[in-house]
Amino acid sequence: MDRTGIPARHPLTIAGSCLLCALGSQVQAAGFQLIEQSVSGMGTSYAGAAATAEDASTVYFNPAGLTQLKAPQAIAAVHVVVPQAKFNEKGSTHALAGFGGTLGTDEGGDGGVTGAVPNLFYSRPLSDKLFFGLGINVPFGLSTEYSKDWVGRYHAIKSELHTVNINPAIAFKVNDKVSLGFGINAQYIEAELTNAIDFATILFPALPVNTNDGFVKLEGDDWSWGWNIGGLFDISDQTRVGIHYRSKIAHNLEGDADFDLTAAAAAVAAVAAPGLFIDTDVKSSATLPASASMSIHHTINPKWAVMADVSWTEWSRMKELRFEFDSAQPDGITTLKWEDSYRYSIGTTYKASDRLIYRAGAALDETPIPNARYRTPRIPGEDRTWLAVGLGYKYSNRLSFDFGYAHLFVKDPKIRKTATGEDQLRGGLNGDYDASTDILSAQLKWTF
């Protein structure tokens, strides 16, 4: 502590957690990425997504696949995501445990929040060789919330993030074997976080321990852009290979930080910490990662097909998070040390008739979080194993329906933080999660 009685690193602690929300968290894929961009793909755990080109959702997975769609079509889809993230307390410690400080016993309830992921896609051939597509989707998202008095309240209470991605694309058929595609992505991001602030510890000993919790809320948004490119290659009449790359998108979020102090904390802070913990504008930079995939689709016979996929996401860019306040509060830093992650999937389809097709698939989705020390309750991610099934039903030559279901088995995430350094004021959060996710998906396709 300095001569005011305030721990020297307290601005870093609060600001770092604010930016973490501004970036957001994912619930269903590595990091905070949402792979739920196609219901037909859901049924195979997105195996072969860059090569299958079954419908207009190929705009997202590989725009070169638009050359496989011979008639105009429009798709409207929704994925209902039901995550579970129940924290089990394993000996968390208060920063002032030696002076009677306690975090309580509330484990926060279920931090997972049910949400919906919508998709809209459109495709149209412009000529025998040139094709157009448009996708409007949500590639990154977050919604987690804990009770206000839980043991990790100084780390996180509410974290919410939304993105909207507008992706026009063009595909060109080079010859009967090779197609290329390119897209532009205009992306909007908005985020909100809340967490408690332990003013009794920050202003100790002027305030007694276990009193005067305050709160901070941060909101921010931004527009930015990126691009995606892909190739589709017919190796034979039965085998197709697709490759796809999606660029990083660098956001510069601007928003507001709102602090809520008790009367006692506000009176002491005005003297001991002038210019800090006041409502102010905030800025941060957030680079959403690049990704790449390679897929294969093989038709065994008129009824059976198999597919596989390997995908990579460049999470290693996220070594730390930095937040800038327009007030006297110094920049905030939170260390992440994330690593690149991979996703592996296999799947199959069975065409029972001209109207009905069945799908099944499995996937292993790696987490970019290196270990329990760098895991946060805002992003309690771990490796996931997907098991998925689906079906498609052709009601008429114009109208088709697709349905999918996936269960994600999540390796129990662990958090092992100590009340030192960046977590000095947030406390040593120690516990394990019971985690899993269920996804229900439905899609309508209209062919013109």
Q: Would you say 246 and 297 are in contact if contact means Cβ atoms under 8 Å apart?
A: no
- Spatial separation of the C-alpha atoms in residues 43 and 59, rounded to whole Å: 18
Tell me the two tokens of residue 421.
Answer: 């350094």
Q: Would you say 446 and 73 are in contact if contact means Cβ atoms under 8 Å apart?
A: yes
Average pLDDT, the chain: 90
Beta bridge pairs of residue 350 = 304, 358
- Cα 200 from chain centroid (whole Å): 34
**Sign (positive or negative) of CA dihedral 375, 379, 380, 383:** negative
**CA geometry: angle 86, 90, 91, nearest 5 deg:** 135
pLDDT at residue 29, rounded to an integer: 54
What are the structural domains of the chain?
A: 10-447 (2.40.160.60)
| Continuous H helices in 234-315 | 263-272
pLDDT category of residue 25 using cuts at 50, 70 and 90: very low
Which of 12-16, 108-112, 182-186 bottoms out in mean pLDDT, i.e. has the lowest?
A: 12-16
pTM summary value? 0.90
pLDDT at residue 30, rounded to an integer: 62
Report helix, strand and coil shares of the chain as percent, to nearest 5: 15, 50, 35
The pLDDT of 15-25, averaged and rounded, is 36
For residues 161 and 72, the model is more confident at 72
Backbone angles phi, psi at 394, to 5 degrees: -95, 100
- Cα 354 from chain centroid (whole Å): 37
pLDDT at residue 16, rounded to an integer: 37
**CA geometry: angle 365, 344, 57, nearest 5 deg:** 90
pLDDT digits (tens, 9 = 90+) for 187-244: 999 988 899 999 999 999 999 999 899 999 988 999 999 999 999 999 999 999 999 9
Q: Is the pLDDT confidence value at 284 over 90?
A: no
Q: Is the pLDDT confidence value at 255 over 50?
A: yes
Q: Is the pLDDT confidence value at 17 over 50?
A: no
